[in-house]
Chains A and B, each alone.
Chain A
C-alpha cells in the first residue's frame, strides 16, 4: 500500500521540491539578505520606494476595476449563454473560449490600435465632438483596465456558466409563476444561486490581474507600472536586484492573502464551493 503511494507520489514531490520549493526558499533568503547579513532591510527600503508604492496602488486600482467590470459584464452574458441550447450554445462557448487560446500579445496589440494616438477610440470621440484633437489613451490605467477586462472576461464567464448550467429552469419558472419578473428573478434567484461560481471567477480574475505581466507591460508600459512589470523593470532594465526579490515575495504573499480573503468572505456569506 505505502509502497504504491510512494511510487505514485514521490517522483512528483521531488519535482516540486526541486523546481518550486528550493527556488522559492532561495528567493525568500535572497529577499532577506543584505550584503552578508540577514534582515528586513530590503523590505523597509521597498516600502520607502515611491515607484513601488505607485505600482502597488496601480495594481489594486486596476484589479478592482477589472474584477468589477468582468463580473458586471460576465453575469448577464453567462446567464444568456447558459440558457441557450443546442449548436448555438457551442458557438457562443467557442467565441468565449477562443481568446483564451491565444497569447496575451496577440490580444493586446489590437488595443494598441484602438487606444493609440489618433486611434479608433480617439477618432470616435473626435467625431462625436468630445475631443478637439487626436490623443493617445495608451500607457494609462484606463488602457490597462480595458485591455485586462478584455483578456480576463472569458475566465469569469466560464466560471459562471459552470454554476448557472446547474440552476434548473424550473426554479426560474417557479419564481416567475409566483409573480416575479425575469429581471427580478435574475437578482433574487440566479445570482444568489451562482455564488460559488462568482467566487471562483473572482479568485481567478483577481489573481490573474494582480499578477498579470504582459498586458500591463504592453498597454501600461513604464508610465503605468504594476507590481509584475516592476519586478521585470527593477530586474532586467534598472538593475535594482536587491528589491526584485522582496517585490516577488510581496507579490506572492499578496496573491495568497487575496485568495484567502475572498474564500473567507464566501464562507461568511454561506456560498462555499461544496455541493451536496
Chain B
C-alpha cells in the first residue's frame, strides 16, 4: 500500500556516465506499472536503483513521501522477483518462502500458516518439500513470486519475470502475477521488453529509451496515440512516413500526394499500422505499388509493398492472396493516422 515517486533520479555505475538522469515516475497506490523498452535502455538499472542495489547519485525515491534512497536494502521491505528467479538452491520451496519471515522473527506457527497460505495461492503447496533444481521454470517463477509477496512488501519489483518461460506459460504466469498483485493490492513495477505482455496486465506503461521515459500513459493511449516516433515504432506502427504541413489538418507526403489527419503543429512524420491500411479495389488511391514479399500470418496476409513512398507494410484479412509482383492500391483512413512531431 504505497505510492511510489521517483524524483529527478540520477544513477551511474562508474561515477562518470549517468545511465539515468532527471528520471521521474509517479506510481499510484496499488497500481501495476510496466517499464517497457529495448535492451540496454536502463530498465534493470531503474529497478536496481529503486531496490537499493545501486546507489543513487541524486534525486529521491519517495514512498508515501518518505525518502528511501538512503535506506539499506535489507530494511526497505520490497519484494523482488529476479529474472533468474534466484531461488536459494540449498533450501526447499517451503524454506525459500519462509526465509523472509524467519528473518523478521515471525513466530513459527504464524510463519507456517502464512507460507502455506501463499503456496496455496500460487498453487505450489504440493511441491513445498522440493528443491528448486527439481522444479520447472513456471514453478520456480511461482515460488519466487510467493517468496517476494509473503513478506507483505511495500513494493513489488519484477525484472523480466517471464522472459525465461515458453509462450504458453508466459500467458498463464502473467495472469497469475496480475491476480496476486490485485489480491494483495500492491504497488508494482514490472520490467519487460515484450509489448503484448505489459499492455495486457498494466495499469500504466512507461516506455523507456536511452535512460529516459518517452511516454507514460495507459496502454490504450500509448497504443492509439504514441507521442513520439520512437514510441510509435516501438508499439508497432511499422509505417512511418515523412510529411510537411500544407494546411489545417492537411499534410503532403514525399510523393506529392496530400492526406488529411488530425491537426498538429510542426509535424515530422505520420504513422500507421499495417492492419489499418485500406486496400483500394478501384479508383483513386494514395499509393500504388507492387508486392515484393508475401507472408502468411494465420488470420491475414502481410505484404511488403514497393511504392513511390518507399516500402510499405500492409496486412489484409482477404482470403484471396495476392502474388509477388501484383499491383496493389492503398489508402490511409484519416482516423487511423497518427501525426508525430519528433
Contacts and interface: CB of A to CB of B under 8 A. Distances in A.
- When A and B assemble into the complex, do they touch directly, with CB atoms less than 8 Å apart? yes
Given A178-B100, A178-B147, A170 B83 contact: yes
A177 B51 contact: yes
B89 A176 contact: no
Contact of A168 (B74, B76, B86, B133): B86
A223 interface: no
Interface string B98-113: 0110011000000000
Nearest to B134: A276
Contact of A177 (B76, B88, B91, B104): B76
B176 interface: no
Nearest to A192: B90
B78 interface: yes
A173 interface: yes
Interface string A172-187: 0111111111001000
Contacts of B82: 170, 173-174
A177 B99 CA distance: 11
A170 B83 CA distance: 9
B53 A171 contact: no
B99 A193 contact: no
A178 B103 contact: yes
Given A179-B74, A179-B77, A179-B151, A174 B86 contact: yes
Contacts of B88: 171, 174-175, 188-189, 193
Interface in B273-331: none
A179 B103 contact: yes
A174 B79 CA distance: 9
Contacts of A189: 88, 90
Interface in A227-276: 276
B228 interface: no
Interface in B139-164: 147-148, 151
B77 A276 contact: no
A9 to B, nearest CB: 34
Nearest to B81: A174
A192 B95 CA distance: 13
Nearest to A182: B74
Interface residues of B, number: 28
A175 B102 CA distance: 12
Interface string B58-83: 00000000000000011111111011
B84 interface: yes
Contacts of B86: 168, 170-171, 173-174
A171 B87 CA distance: 6
Interface in A160-175: 167-168, 170-171, 173-175
A177 B73 contact: yes
Contacts of B99: 175, 178, 180, 188
B326 to A, nearest CB: 53
Nearest to A181: B74
Contacts of B103: 178-180, 184
Nearest to B144: A174
A276 B84 CA distance: 16
A181 B75 CA distance: 9
Contacts of A179: 74-75, 77, 100, 103-104, 151
A193 to B, nearest CB: 5
Interface in A177-225: 177-181, 184, 188-189, 192-193, 195
A231 to B, nearest CB: 41
17 contacts: A170-B82, A171-B87, A171-B89, A174-B80, A174-B88, A174-B147, A177-B76, A177-B80, A178-B99, A178-B103, A179-B74, A179-B77, A179-B103, A188-B99, A192-B91, A193-B88, A193-B90
Given A173-B51, A177-B148, 4 more contacts: A168-B84, A170-B86, A174-B86, A184-B103
Top 6 A-B pairs ranked by shortest CB distance?
A: A178-B100, A192-B90, A170-B86, A174-B86, A179-B103, A170-B82
Interface of A: 167-168, 170-171, 173-181, 184, 188-189, 192-193, 195, 276
